[in-house]
Amino acid sequence: MTMSPKLPRRSVCAAALALVVVGSAWGQAWPTRPITLVVPFAAGGPTDIVARALSVPMGKALGQTVIIENKVGAGGTVAATLVSRANPDGYTFLIHHNGMATAPALYRKLAYNPLTDFEYVSQVIDVPMTLVARKDLPAKTLPELLSYLKAHGDKVNLAHAGLGAVSHLCGMVFRQAVGVDLTTVPYSGTGPAMAALLGGQVDLLCDQTTQTVPQIKAGAVRFYGVTTAQRIKALPDAPTLAEQGLKGFEVMVWHGIYAPKGTPREALDKMNSALRTALKDPTVTTRMAELGAEQVPESKLTADGLRSWLKQEIERWGPVIRSAGVYAD
Ligand code: MLT
């Protein structure tokens, strides 16, 4: 028989009471003030569009405002570093995409480990990409673009949102598929990159449908195809790049919500539940469907679903990036 160490009865009661008080403060009161959701790219771009669309119904479900803070730089790694070091008090979260999985191979001196320095809330939504160009680029179709690049590739530039951005990743896959070494021009997000494309300062951009669908529908950009395996509902007549001969060209953007390591479980669980509520909100479902975003299955809307997907993606992209020899010191 094991014996408990003998404690004076009064101190046992005091300790039990303290536990109950701490537990109920977390269980019932969180959140007592606004929550910050950090977006790693510029305001007005695709990640920001998803974050802001969700922030209102999430705030409603939580009874507190969800404030979006754009912390840009180094393809999303500035924001991820800040969040990995933030106070794990349940008031700071990060929304990030594939960049969370590609950064370990791209950055030799990454200040965080995506698999050990965070808590995981859930995957969020998937977003296809599109290849677009400035409206007055002479090439009107993908075959014309490929010929144009063969003849003028050294003068054509491709905008992106930094090493670790999906626009960079997609551009890298495209350059490999067509065998042309384009000049790349980095921006703090594809919001400013799209502004530069519309202003004719850059030639090409591989960007998410959440930003490109309105520009494509308005005829403000040239459009060559979608990066997914299948055609998408938001642009039903648009061919995929793969069906036009760019074999194996498949890029889909996935998102996750993270928190600093040590964030209390109650905050993570309530954020997860608020996210699920927001994803069913008609304002979100309608807008996201119009912009080509796709809901993810229930099994991915969990902390474990996000962490195991992140691990798979790190294992998928690490060798591809290392063999391409692309990295930052
Ligand atoms: C953005 O929000 O600007 C994009 O997600 C950047 C990118 O990864 O291409």
The atom of ligand 1 lying closest to the CA of 40 is 2
The atom of ligand 1 lying closest to the CA of 206 is 9
Confidence of residue 316 (pLDDT cuts 50, 70, 90): very high
Q: Does the pTM of the predicted model rise above 0.75?
A: yes
Ranges in the chain annotated CATH 3.40.190.150: 33-127+253-324
CATH code reported for the domain at 128-244: 3.40.190.10
CA distance 98 to 239: 24
* d(CA 32, ligand 1 centre) in Å: 31
- Residue minimizing CA distance to atom 3 of ligand 1: 189
Ranges in the chain annotated CATH 3.40.190.10: 128-244
- Mean pLDDT score, 25-31: 69
Asked if 107 contacts 81 with a C-beta cutoff of 8 angstroms, the reply is no
Asked if 308 contacts 254 with a C-beta cutoff of 8 angstroms, the reply is no
The pLDDT tens digits for 261-270 are 999 999 999 9
The pLDDT tens digits for 1-25 are 233 333 344 444 444 444 444 444 4
Does residue 227 register a pLDDT over 80? yes
Check pocket membership of 209 for ligand 1, CB cut-off 6 A.
no
> Exposure of 200 by Cβ count < 10 A (0-12 exposed, 13-18 middle, 19+ buried)?
exposed
CA distance 229 to 226: 8
* d(CA 197, ligand 1 centre) in Å: 15
CATH code reported for the domain at 33-127+253-324: 3.40.190.150
Cross-strand bridge partners of residue 123: 256
Mutate to test the pocket of ligand 1, among 52, 95, 97, 254 (most ligand atoms within 8 A of CB): 97
* d(CA 74, ligand 1 centre) in Å: 11
- Per the prediction, the chain carries an average pLDDT of 91
The atom of ligand 1 lying closest to the CA of 207 is 9
Of 23-32, 38-47, 270-279, the range with the lowest mean pLDDT is 23-32
CA distance 59 to 268: 14
Check pocket membership of 188 for ligand 1, CB cut-off 6 A.
no
